[in-house]
């Protein structure tokens, strides 16, 4: 079997936080390169915890393989070239004096030439509608602009896999629409954690539903979005 750069295989993954709280319990998922997956489920289900395990920001028991590389403290550098996470809060992603510096930070860290860093930074900013923002202070942007800048920091590293943690949170309707257009245009393996089933319908082919650290459903997004009864059972929809 060939392994593509955007393949993810998770088997028997469990994670318990240092205070004893269970984050993930025996999670197994395979995601093929180029697939777009929504991760749904109530607060505290383990969605963000799962994202943190992918680039080895935390290590559980079990196995995660990214593009055929087993995630471990020894491989994190290689793995992080392949997986980018857009955190829910853009302030967790932006820490440089200017937008340009924030977006250039990742490519610089990858040891790329100055020309290549510049090319990637400008391309990432332009693809997200932030050309002209290079000299602005990241911390003086509006929330929606910060969100786009934080996506640009990941796009500039050109990872094969991008995971978004609640990308639509705190955005106005136009912001959600703009963001979903941007995310839809990204042709990589995408994982989108969201409470917004409408956004999930627009962005994902597959729905994975979590609760209490477990995967409780894994089905085509189309099927889930057309099945209100199943959404109610999974506590994704209330009326
Ligand atoms: N740093 C931490 N220390 C201890 N427990 C934690 C920590 N972070 C998360 N947890 C716990 O792990 C479980 C899973 O949390 P996680 O943040 O992954 O949920 P989530 O599905 O992302 O929820 P939300 O929709 O609210 O963002 C919860 O019980 C949570 O309280
Ligand atoms: Mg979360």
In this prediction, residue 4 carries a pLDDT of 80
Q: Is the CB of 129 under 6 A from ligand 1?
A: no
CA of 47 to the centre of ligand 2 (A): 6
Q: Which ligand is nearest to the CA of 236?
A: 1
Output the 3-class SS for 7-26: CEEEEEEEEECCCCCEEEEE
In this prediction, residue 239 carries a pLDDT of 87
Average pLDDT over residues 190-200: 96
Q: Which ligand is nearest to the CA of 16?
A: 1
CA of 148 to the centre of ligand 1 (A): 25
Q: Is the CB of 86 under 6 A from ligand 1?
A: no
Q: Is the CB of 57 under 6 A from ligand 1?
A: no
CA of 163 to the centre of ligand 2 (A): 12
In this prediction, residue 3 carries a pLDDT of 77
Tens of pLDDT, residues 80-127: 999 999 999 999 999 999 999 999 999 999 999 999 999 999 999 999
Tens of pLDDT, residues 125-153: 999 999 999 999 999 999 999 999 999 99
Mean pLDDT computed over every residue of the chain = 96
d(CA 32, CA 7): 5
Q: Is the CB of 24 under 6 A from ligand 1?
A: no
**Per-residue b/e over 122-150, b at no fewer than 16 CB within 10 Å?**
bbbbebbebeebeebebeebeebbbbbbb
Percent of the chain predicted with pLDDT > 90: 97
In this prediction, residue 125 carries a pLDDT of 97
Q: What is the DSSP letter of 138?
A: G
Residue 1 pLDDT exceeds 60:
no
d(CA 141, CA 227): 39
In this prediction, residue 93 carries a pLDDT of 95
Q: Is the CB of 46 under 6 A from ligand 1?
A: yes
CA of 16 to the centre of ligand 1 (A): 10
Beta bridge partners of 39: 193, 208
Substitution site in 17, 52, 235 for ligand 1 pocket (most atoms within 8 Å of beta carbon): 17
Residue 209 pLDDT exceeds 90:
yes
Minimum CA distance residue for ligand 1 atom 30: 44
CA of 151 to the centre of ligand 2 (A): 17
Q: Distances in Å between the alpha carbon of 122 and those of 14, 82, 86, 109, 165?
A: 39, 20, 19, 16, 24
Supply the pTM of this predicted model.
0.96
First to last CA, the chain: 46
Average pLDDT over residues 193-217: 97
Domains and CATH numbers, the chain: 8-233 (3.40.50.300)
Residue located via tokens 């510049």: 118
**Where residue 44 falls among pLDDT bands split at 50, 70, 90?**
very high
- Angle (CA) 219-224-226 rounded to 5° is 145
d(CA 85, CA 93): 9
């Amino acid at each position: 079997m060939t392994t593509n750069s955007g393949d993810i295989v998770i088997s028997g993954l469990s994670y318990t936080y240092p205070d004893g709280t269970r984050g993930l319990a025996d999670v197994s998922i395979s995601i093929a390169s180029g697939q777009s997956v929504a991760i749904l489920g109530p607060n505290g289900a383990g969605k963000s915890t799962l994202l943190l395990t992918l680039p080895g920001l935390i290590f559980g028991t079990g196995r995660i393989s990214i593009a055929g590389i087993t995630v471990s403290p020894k491989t994190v550098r290689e793995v992080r070239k392949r997986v980018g996470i857009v955190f829910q809060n853009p302030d967790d992603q932006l820490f440089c004096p200017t937008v340009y510096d924030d977006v250039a930070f990742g490519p610089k860290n990858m040891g790329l030439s100055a020309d290549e860093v510049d090319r990637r930074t400008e391309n990432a900013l332009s693809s997200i509608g932030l050309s002209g923002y290079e000299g602005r202070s990241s911390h003086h942007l509006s929330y929606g602009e910060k969100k786009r800048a934080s996506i640009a920091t990941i796009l500039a590293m050109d990872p094969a896999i991008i995971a978004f943690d609640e990308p639509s949170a705190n955005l106005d309707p136009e912001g959600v629409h703009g963001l979903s257009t941007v995310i839809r245009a990204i042709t990589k393996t995408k994982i989108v954690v969201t409470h917004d089933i409408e956004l999930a319908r627009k962005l994902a082919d597959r729905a994975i539903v979590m609760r209490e650290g477990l995967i409780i459903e894994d089905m085509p997004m189309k099927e889930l979005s057309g099945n209100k009864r199943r959404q109610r059972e999974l506590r994704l929809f209330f009326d």
